[in-house]
């Protein structure tokens, strides 16, 4: 039986594990492109590296989410996933050979793929359908707080030791290691399976082989509401390119503001990125509480509407003040969609298939993200940055209309 507390010890534990992991990962985010260029990677090779890594993460999310549901285990997948991500950080700095860098970076993303579905299923199983928004919001807030602390620590290090990028990869291992150690306090619950879980267990007996692409079959057995929701979210993902493009347009336009002073433009760019993550972290839990009261779908649509406004505005922004306002709104958008979308999916899916459902969505979303960034780069090169951001803004507005009319208003309030 679940605890009457909304934020239980398990939810706190999972959230702190994510916080320390994101401190480690985001500590390296601002310096990764610079480090890779310093060891001889071209822009093309960096793009291929990120493509392979994200594709690995995307496909493995679906497979390991499915495997977690079939085995009924959560904690082992969480531990293994965070361990691989932790050890990959110093590996990136040990050798500068391209194949070794590819292996280490892919190992990091593979770890994310192993843990994501099982971790989100733990959060879902730990609460009630009525409190999913605040639970996933709290977790996202803690996770994103790490995304603000990490770059801040990197800036302090580089301010004291200019140009010492490689040491950051070794330093990042320690918060990652702390996350791994905390994961050993996670325990799988021993509870009587529900009738639906019994059926799932029978249909997924050991005699049935689970292949790497087995999770794709979930689409056929999922509910119409799940398919309509995920279809809309995937179209949105195709229009939502990497945040690198947002940071790039900030840097390019601020270089002109600061009369070609690239160092000052870089400082403001990273500062705005930290500001965005702080807003995201601070608003995730309050927005989750509101989502539980107003409805998860209502909050999701609201968040996507803000995204549309932000991307449209990015096509015209040129001053620090305007960029600050837009990134504040961008933090609200993230708080209103990231955790809420997973909470909504977990409510729609059968409880015994939560990890599979979330893994299916996040897995395909990772693949669509790759396509999105490729298309964004093409639009930027051929037509310019303004066309890229206006296309995304208008396209996502169409997604808002689709979700508002096609997905039922009470989606996720009653399980199938």
DSSP one-letter string for 195-257: HHHHHHHHHT-TTS---TTGGGGHHHHS-HHHHHHHHHHHHHHHH---HHHHHHHHHHHHHHH
Instruction: Give the confidence band of 194 by pLDDT, cuts at 50, 70, 90.
Output: very low
Greatest mean pLDDT among 42-46, 245-249, 298-302: 298-302
Q: Cβ distance 210 to 67 under 8 Å? A: yes
Instruction: Give the confidence band of 362 by pLDDT, cuts at 50, 70, 90.
Output: confident
Instruction: Give the confidence band of 361 by pLDDT, cuts at 50, 70, 90.
Output: confident
d(CA 414, CA 416): 7
Mean pLDDT score, 206-226: 73
Q: What is the reported pLDDT for 201? A: 41
Q: What is the reported pLDDT for 157? A: 85
Mean pLDDT is lowest, of 143-152, 294-303, 315-324, 357-366, for 357-366
* N-terminal to C-terminal alpha carbon distance within the chain: 21
Mean pLDDT score, 63-67: 84
Q: What is the reported pLDDT for 259? A: 63
> Does 299 score more than 80 pLDDT?
yes
Task: Give me 211's structure tokens.
Answer: 């292949």
> Does 345 score more than 80 pLDDT?
yes
The better pLDDT of the pair 196, 284 is held by 284
Mean pLDDT score, 320-339: 92
> Does 2 score more than 50 pLDDT?
no
Mean pLDDT of the chain: 83
Mean pLDDT score, 130-142: 86
Which one-letter DSSP state was computed for residue 31? T
Q: Which CATH number fits domain 9-184+215-406: 1.20.1250.20, 1.10.599.10, 3.30.2310.20, 3.30.420.40?
A: 1.20.1250.20
d(CA 391, CA 17): 37
> Does 378 score more than 80 pLDDT?
yes
How much of the chain, in percent, has pLDDT values that exceed 70? 87
Residue identified by tokens 């019994």 is 198
Q: What is the reported pLDDT for 46? A: 67
- With CA atoms as reference, report the closest residue to 176 among 37, 9, 16, 414: 16
> Does 411 score more than 50 pLDDT?
yes
Q: What is the reported pLDDT for 211? A: 65
Instruction: Give the confidence band of 185 by pLDDT, cuts at 50, 70, 90.
Output: very high
Mean pLDDT score, 400-414: 78
Q: What is the reported pLDDT for 173? A: 93
Instruction: Give the confidence band of 205 by pLDDT, cuts at 50, 70, 90.
Output: very low
> Does 140 score more than 50 pLDDT?
yes
pTM exceeding 0.95: no
d(CA 86, CA 37): 23
> Does 295 score more than 90 pLDDT?
no
Residues whose CB is less than 8 angstroms from the CB of residue 176 and which lie 6 or more positions away in sequence, other chains included: 20, 21, 24, 25, 82, 85, 86, 87, 89
The runs of H, that is alpha helices, within 349-415 are 354-383, 385-406
Instruction: Give the confidence band of 60 by pLDDT, cuts at 50, 70, 90.
Output: confident
> Does 313 score more than 90 pLDDT?
yes
> Does 112 score more than 50 pLDDT?
yes
Judged by DSSP in three states, 189 sits in coil
Q: What are phi and psi of 12, to 5 degrees?
A: -60, -45
| Burial label, 316 (beta-carbon count in 10 A; 0-12, 13-18, 19+) | exposed
Q: Cβ distance 83 to 111 under 8 Å? A: yes
Q: What is the reported pLDDT for 14? A: 93
Q: What is the reported pLDDT for 247? A: 79
> Does 229 score more than 60 pLDDT?
yes
> Does 200 score more than 50 pLDDT?
no
Mean pLDDT is lowest, of 15-19, 87-91, 191-195, 344-348, for 191-195
Domain boundaries, the chain: 9-184+215-406
Judged by DSSP in three states, 363 sits in helix
């Amino acid at each position: 039986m679940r605890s009457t507390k909304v934020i239980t010890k398990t939810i706190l534990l999972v959230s702190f594990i994510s916080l320390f992991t994101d401190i480690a990962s985001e500590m390296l985010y601002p310096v990764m492109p610079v480090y890779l260029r310093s060891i001889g990677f071209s822009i093309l090779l960096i793009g291929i590296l990120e493509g392979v890594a994200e594709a690995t993460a995307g496909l493995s999310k679906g497979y390991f989410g499915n495997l977690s549901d079939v085995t009924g285990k959560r904690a082992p997948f969480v531990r293994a996933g965070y361990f691989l991500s932790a050890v990959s950080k110093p590996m990136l700095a040990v050798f500068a050979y391209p194949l070794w860098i590819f292996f280490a970076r892919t190992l990091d993303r593979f770890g994310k793929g192993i843990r994501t579905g099982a971790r989100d299923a733990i959060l879902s199983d730990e609460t009630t359908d009525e409190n999913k928004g605040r639970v996933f919001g709290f977790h996202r807030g803690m996770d994103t707080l790490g995304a603000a602390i990490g770059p801040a620590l990197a800036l302090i290090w580089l301010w004291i030791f200019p140009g010492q990028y490689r040491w950051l990869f070794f330093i990042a291992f320690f918060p990652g290691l702390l996350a791994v150690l905390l994961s050993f306090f996670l325990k799988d619950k021993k509870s009587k399976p529900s009738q639906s879980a019994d059926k799932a267990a029978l249909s997924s007996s050991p005699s049935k082989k689970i292949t790497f692409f087995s999770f794709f079959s979930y689409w056929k057995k999922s509910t119409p509401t799940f398919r309509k929701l995920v279809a809309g979210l995937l179209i949105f993902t195709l229009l939502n390119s990497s945040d690198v493009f947002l940071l790039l347009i900030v840097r390019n336009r601020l270089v002109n503001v600061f009369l070609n002073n690239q160092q000052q433009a870089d400082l403001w760019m990273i500062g705005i990125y930290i500001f965005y993550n702080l807003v995201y972290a601070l608003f995730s839990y309050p927005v989750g509480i509101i989502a539980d009261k107003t409805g998860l779908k209502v909050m999701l649509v609201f968040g996507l509407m803000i995204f549309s406004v932000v991307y449209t505005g990015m096509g015209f922004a040129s001053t620090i003040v305007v960029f600050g306002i837009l990134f504040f709104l961008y933090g609200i958008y993230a708080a209103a969609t990231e955790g809420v979308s997973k909470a909504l999916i977990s409510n729609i899916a059968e409880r015994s298939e939560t990890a599979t459902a979330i893994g299916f969505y996040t897995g395909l979303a990772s693949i669509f993200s790759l396509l999105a960034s490729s298309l964004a780069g093409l639009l930027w090169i051929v037509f310019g940055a303004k066309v890229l951001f206006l296309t995304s803004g208008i396209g996502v507005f169409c997604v808002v209309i689709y979700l508002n009319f096609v997905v039922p208003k009470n989606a996720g309030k009653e399980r199938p």
